Structure 1
Amino acid sequence: METMEKGRLSVHTENILPVIKKWLYSEKEIFIRELVSNAHDAIEKVKKVALTEDIYQSDDDQYCIDLKLDRENGILIIEDNGIGMTADEVREYIASIAFSGAEKFAEKYLKEGDSGIIGHFGLGFYSCFMVSKQVEIESRSCQLEAEPVRWVSDGGEEYEIGVGSRQKRGTEIRLHLNEEDASEFTDLARVSELVRRYLDFLSVPIRIDGAQVNRQKPLWTQQPAALKKEDYDEFYKYMFPHQGEPLFHIHLNVDHPFRLQGILYFPRLAHEMDLNKSNVKIYCQQVFVTDQAQELIPQFLTVLQGVIDLPELPLNVSRSYIQNEPVVRKIASHIIKKVADRLAHECKNNRQEYEKIWNEIAPFVKYGMLSDERFYDQAKDALLLEILGSDSNRLVTIDEYLAESKEKDAQKIYYASDLQTQGQALRMLQKQGIQVVHLGTMIDSHFTGLLEVKRGDVKFVRVDAELHEHALDKESDSSIVDEQNRDLKSRLQDLFKQAVSNDKVTIRPEALKSEEIPAMILLPEHQRRMAEMSAMWGEKENPFSSEHTLLVNTRNPLIQKLGSPGILGSDGSADSKKKRVARQVYHLSRLAQGAASPADMEKYAQEIFSLLQDMV
């Protein structure tokens, strides 16, 4: 056996290996990603060298990376048929930890702007000492006259280097695993899972004990024009199994001012969005880096699923997380724009299909607009409103709604948030030909405020916030007076003031075109929004404002009986039974509005039962 030369690792800080082994990488499994990435780099390098130079074993062009598991002896072998190393290169690339071999190679062989080298010999290689008690390297350079080289280290400051025995071009790394790690990293299922997680899309076959385990072909690197919907759907099912079909996809392909490729999918959303869980996988030249990329993917976009590959992604030294640099913020802005552009394009050019998915994506679009002003500006043309119809609903843009409603009310958009409690008011407006949209999610109360501020030409009004003039019967006659010279409206005003006995409640008798509604609560839009905001922040349990209006419909038969002459005594006080009925009309109006607390409802029920008992 050849005499082995001894040397000391060239480091810039004493005892750096213990630091690497213990703290640099967050998880031990990362060493597989680093070593296989280095093997892939070696293959990419030899491909480029072979274009301009004669290389050793030039006929060996069936490039692959082999992992061999020796469970009995606790050994993991990673082998490639790439560029290989000479003894001098081993000393330079392996024994000098702070040096990046890829950078020096790039200076010699790559043109400006060309990129195909993933990782570093150096720190990446040394991740293997997290799991190994000894590491051996056998390498044969692609240089025609080079000798094979052997390098051995136990992770200390010293190593041995000498002439090796390898005859094939490339490099073999033999890891003698620590006792506590040997079982995990010689297990076929576990190592296969790690290769698929981190290295599934590397361009060369990766084999474990002779069987290929990686998919190899990343769909995002292909031209969109060459792909069909079925290709995108199949890839989605592969990346995100058991998720059903996505609603739509966005293919990203950018060369300037940064390089970016990827495919984003909009999935069918669950009832609740988990905005803290990211489903976008970040790759760096087909190597998986992380799915925790808040710097790249804004919170409101975490509902998306897919992959983004950034060859120039600024990573920390262990390539475990993204560094927050200006270029990262630019990339995030570009992703936001591409999503917004796609939504606007689909709404404009594929309206029928877009309407089919609108209800599923609406919460995401609205949340995104509230979260990011740029997203609002870029996606505002993709916003739809759902107009409630008697048979079926339909979707329109804000501009379409305003154009259709300009004859009745040019600047107001009427909406209902609860179709049960606001049903009476909703039907009353619909009978007068006034279009009402449905805004029934928690986010809508904030979103309507945003739209009012941003547009400036529209006001959102809930159907029970004010009385539309088209709902009034202006020809109704209430001029019949009693002995106190009071007409119907005045009599009802007096009656309900005594019945309600609350100075904060305004009594407003009006003749509505519809007779079916005896009375309803009107709460001005700004008051209701303030009350709901207070409730949201925990300042109030019930968002219903104590200051509101009770609209009494003078065309309703019950109300007309209550307001008929003679209802008041000679002293001006209301008849006790009639006053009790008027009070229940108010209570039922509160119940219909959803404005009664559990204690209120119990009290109202007792009063109604008492009234019914007296009437029997």
Structure 2
Amino acid sequence: MTTGKINVSVENIFPLIKKFLYSDHEIFLRELVSNATDATLKLKHLTSIGEAKVEYGKPMIEVKIDKDAKKIHIIDQGLGMTAEEVEKYINQVAFSGAEEFLEKYKDSAKDSGIIGHFGLGFYSAFMVAEKVEIITKSYKDEPAAHWTCDGSPEFTLVAHDKTERGTEIILHVAEDSLEFLEESKIGQLLTKYNKFMPVPIKFGTKKEALPKPEDAGDDYKTEYVDVDNIINNPNPAWTKQPTDLKDEDYAAFYRELYPMQFEEPLFNIHLNVDYPFNLTGILYFPKLDANLQVQKDKIQLYQNQVFVTDNVEGIVPEFLVMLRGVIDSPDIPLNVSRSYLQADGNVKKISNYITRKVADKLKSLFNENREDFEQKWNDIKIVLEYGMLSEPKFYEKAGDFVLYPTVDGKFYTLAELKEALKDSQTDKNGNLVVLYASNQDAQHSYIDIAKEKGYQVLLLDSPIVSHLIQKLEADNEKLTFARVDADHIDKLIPKDEAQISKLSEEESTQLKTVLEGIVPNTTYSVQLEAMDSHAAPFIITQPEFMRRMKEMSQSGGGGMFGMGNLPEMYNLVVNTNSDLASTILKADTSVQESLVKQALDLAKISQGLLKGEELTAFVKRSFELIK
């Protein structure tokens, strides 16, 4: 029998001494199952190179609960340990068995899937256990060993009569952690952290129906048998080569990841790189709504098939955190932290790689089947537009596939849009003016006016489009965007000759004087324009610059620029070729006021500006008019 004190290096403070090395106590199971997986994969590697002269077989890891005895057992059939190795890898916490193993076999073990960091990971057991036992038998022809520790630096190490190869960890669960003796809790943790571990994990048994005998009669009752309940998929889709997978395989894996998600993803991107870092994974583009927050925390980060976190910001580019799927990289530690992510060079490389890979995939989808890409545009645009704003490298590539749809259902890339509009939508300064609607229903009348003038109108209705427009204008000389209900439309050079006003210059001056005497000049600037006689008599537009400043103020930028609450300022454009303009000009003073107020209120309604007392007065006035 051996007794002694565990050798703890000062540099390696572990949970035995400092309980909060890990922020979440539940990961003890992840660590111990990871160690069992390590031991199994190490044995697989050693047998494959002929160093271990034993039969590898079909090993599994078993997790058992003994609620009455308040114990949890984690049992593997891996390479086990000798008493000497227990001394080295368990008592001398400064060593890491997996790291030493990888160093020794660094050339041949590169792809053996060793998870690593055995020493500290093992001591996470003491976060939930008041005493821990290790019963282990090495694949080498040496006696088994039994190690016991009660959570202090004191341990005992004795021989054991175990004859089967492998290791059994026994946790004597502490009184403050009895929740971990519930089957539902352990099952939940195994599913969360170990769902895709590369070694089968058994947790209890399940009933499986036996096949019905051919000679069984109608009164045959189905017979059931207990079989091992394997809770994980050791060979998930992302560990395979893309050439070995079909569309249905990707769809099946998506359902495995998200069993409660009934809507199929739009497409997937398979990540597979081994230089200058290791990374595999599959990302899925789901259908997204306009709420950027809804879909976050759906990408799962793994390290050699061990779940790490679903908070992948910093590893995955910010604009892609709304996607779903899996990323697996051995270059990211299990105990990942925010400060680590910010400091680690590999993480930034991984993020840049994912950005490039996603952009390349989108470009190929666009080139291979543009019609299909256009049909999916509304479901993916929010992610791509956000990417253009937040990731310069993505923005550089986005011109090849980002689309700008019109209200009529046509789609242009930015280069195509410039070419299509260069002869028809320029202002007097030679700027190309791109008209767009942000709400097709609310701005319907303005869209009609623009289309009557022969202009194209885009439909840009995502919540971040105003920010994207500013970026596009900054990066494209002589390109201006103007919302269709803004005043910029009046500054375009018309395709055809402008309409000739039915009113003389003197009559136009009289009409403007009448209007300015009735319309509030603190809010509205009266403008006369000769338009088609069928166009609306009164139209309200807003100066484009003022509208943008107001949007910035409302979105939180007001304080930054010292704008505060900006005043309401609009243009009232009056069509001098409308019958109403002539009627107002010829009417008595009292009638003029009634007509102007009624027409102004109708124009306000089209812009959603008529509210409160003004709306009540308008309704009363309207009923009086139709009596």
Give TM-score scaled by structure 2 length: 0.87
Partner of 2:469: 448
Written as runs of structure 1 = structure 2, the 5 A alignment for 1:163-182 is 163-182=159-178
Partner of 1:550: 572
**What is the alpha-carbon distance in structure 1 between the residues aligned to residue 145 and residue 269 of structure 2?**
48
The answer to whether structure 1 residue 334 and structure 2 residue 353 are counterparts is yes
Q: Which amino acid aligns with 2:582?
A: Q
Partner of 2:35: 38
Please say if residues 407 and 440 of structure 2, whose CA atoms lie closer than 8 Å, have aligned partners that are also in contact: no
Partner of 2:443: 422
Question: Structure 2 residue aligned with 1:560, among 552, 576, 582?
Answer: 582
TM superposition shift of 1:492: 1.4
Question: Structure 2 residue aligned with 1:462, among 472, 476, 483?
Answer: 483
The answer to whether structure 1 residue 438 and structure 2 residue 459 are counterparts is yes
Residues 1:140 and 1:42: Cα distance change in structure 2 (over 3 Å): same
Deviation digits for residues 16-75 of structure 1 (CA, Å, limit 9, x no counterpart)? 56655621122222111111111111111122222444546x135222212233233222
Partner of 2:598: 584
Deviation digits for residues 79-135 of structure 1 (CA, Å, limit 9, x no counterpart)? 222111111111000001121111112222231781421022211111111222222
- Secondary structure class of the residue paired with 1:139: strand
Question: Structure 1 residue aligned with 2:44, among 31, 47, 53?
Answer: 47
Please say if residues 14 and 21 of structure 2, whose CA atoms lie closer than 8 Å, have aligned partners that are also in contact: no
TM superposition shift of 1:281: 0.5
Bigger drift between 131-140 and 463-472 goes to 463-472
Residues 1:334 and 1:192: Cα distance change in structure 2 (over 3 Å): same
The answer to whether structure 1 residue 231 and structure 2 residue 231 are counterparts is no
**What is the alpha-carbon distance in structure 2 between the residues aligned to residue 471 and residue 507 of structure 1?**
25
Written as runs of structure 1 = structure 2, the 5 A alignment for 1:19-418 is 20=17, 22-53=19-50, 55=52, 58-111=54-107, 114-115=110-111, 116-144=113-141, 146-182=142-178, 184-209=179-204, 210-243=228-261, 244-274=263-293, 277-316=296-335, 324-389=343-408, 393-409=409-425, 411-418=432-439
Q: Which amino acid aligns with 2:485?
A: D
**What is the alpha-carbon distance in structure 2 between the residues aligned to residue 492 and residue 603 of structure 1?**
25
Bigger drift between 283-292 and 159-168 goes to 159-168
- Secondary structure class of the residue paired with 2:25: coil
TM superposition shift of 1:296: 0.9
Residues 1:474 and 1:287: Cα distance change in structure 2 (over 3 Å): closer
Residues 1:286 and 1:604: Cα distance change in structure 2 (over 3 Å): same
Residues 1:552 and 1:473: Cα distance change in structure 2 (over 3 Å): farther
Please say if residues 413 and 459 of structure 1, whose CA atoms lie closer than 8 Å, have aligned partners that are also in contact: yes
Residues 1:509 and 1:207: Cα distance change in structure 2 (over 3 Å): same
**Unaligned runs of at least 5 residues, structure 2:** 205-227, 427-431
Residues 1:380 and 1:156: Cα distance change in structure 2 (over 3 Å): same
Deviation digits for residues 490-532 of structure 1 (CA, Å, limit 9, x no counterpart)? 2212221222251664322221124231021232321221122
TM superposition shift of 1:551: 1.5
Deviation digits for residues 413-461 of structure 1 (CA, Å, limit 9, x no counterpart)? 1112233443222112212332111123332222211211122342112
Residues 1:469 and 1:583: Cα distance change in structure 2 (over 3 Å): farther
Bigger drift between 227-236 and 454-463 goes to 454-463
TM superposition shift of 1:255: 1.0
Please say if residues 276 and 299 of structure 1, whose CA atoms lie closer than 8 Å, have aligned partners that are also in contact: no
**What is the alpha-carbon distance in structure 1 between the residues aligned to residue 15 and residue 199 of structure 2?**
33
TM superposition shift of 1:275: 6.2
- Secondary structure class of the residue paired with 1:563: helix
Bigger drift between 576-585 and 277-286 goes to 576-585
Please say if residues 314 and 322 of structure 1, whose CA atoms lie closer than 8 Å, have aligned partners that are also in contact: no
**What is the alpha-carbon distance in structure 2 between the residues aligned to residue 258 and residue 15 of structure 1?**
27
**What is the alpha-carbon distance in structure 2 between the residues aligned to residue 35 and residue 319 of structure 1?**
24
Deviation digits for residues 356-395 of structure 1 (CA, Å, limit 9, x no counterpart)? 1111111222122222222222223221122123xxx232
Please say if residues 290 and 321 of structure 1, whose CA atoms lie closer than 8 Å, have aligned partners that are also in contact: no
TM superposition shift of 1:473: 6.3
Bigger drift between 486-495 and 93-102 goes to 486-495
Partner of 1:570: none
- Secondary structure class of the residue paired with 2:583: helix
**What is the alpha-carbon distance in structure 2 between the residues aligned to residue 322 and residue 373 of structure 1?**
20
The answer to whether structure 1 residue 6 and structure 2 residue 24 are counterparts is no
Bigger drift between 516-525 and 253-262 goes to 516-525
**What is the alpha-carbon distance in structure 2 between the residues aligned to residue 459 and residue 178 of structure 1?**
68
Give TM-score scaled by structure 1 length: 0.88
Deviation digits for residues 469-492 of structure 1 (CA, Å, limit 9, x no counterpart)? 438863525465xxxxx6332221
**What is the alpha-carbon distance in structure 1 between the residues aligned to residue 526 and residue 255 of structure 2?**
61
The answer to whether structure 1 residue 476 and structure 2 residue 476 are counterparts is no
**What is the alpha-carbon distance in structure 2 between the residues aligned to residue 21 and residue 464 of structure 1?**
64
Residues 1:201 and 1:420: Cα distance change in structure 2 (over 3 Å): closer
- Secondary structure class of the residue paired with 1:150: strand
**What is the alpha-carbon distance in structure 1 between the residues aligned to residue 436 and residue 542 of structure 2?**
14
Please say if residues 15 and 157 of structure 1, whose CA atoms lie closer than 8 Å, have aligned partners that are also in contact: no
- Secondary structure class of the residue paired with 2:462: coil
Please say if residues 136 and 175 of structure 1, whose CA atoms lie closer than 8 Å, have aligned partners that are also in contact: yes
Partner of 2:212: none
Q: Which amino acid aligns with 1:459?
A: T
Please say if residues 538 and 573 of structure 2, whose CA atoms lie closer than 8 Å, have aligned partners that are also in contact: yes
**What is the alpha-carbon distance in structure 1 between the residues aligned to residue 48 and residue 384 of structure 2?**
50
* Percentage of identical aligned residues: 38
TM superposition shift of 1:290: 0.8
Aligned residues: 591
**Unaligned runs of at least 5 residues, structure 1:** 481-485, 568-573
**What is the alpha-carbon distance in structure 1 between the residues aligned to residue 27 and residue 340 of structure 2?**
12
CA RMSD of aligned residues (A): 3.0
Residues 1:208 and 1:424: Cα distance change in structure 2 (over 3 Å): closer
- Secondary structure class of the residue paired with 2:592: helix
Q: Which amino acid aligns with 1:119?
A: G
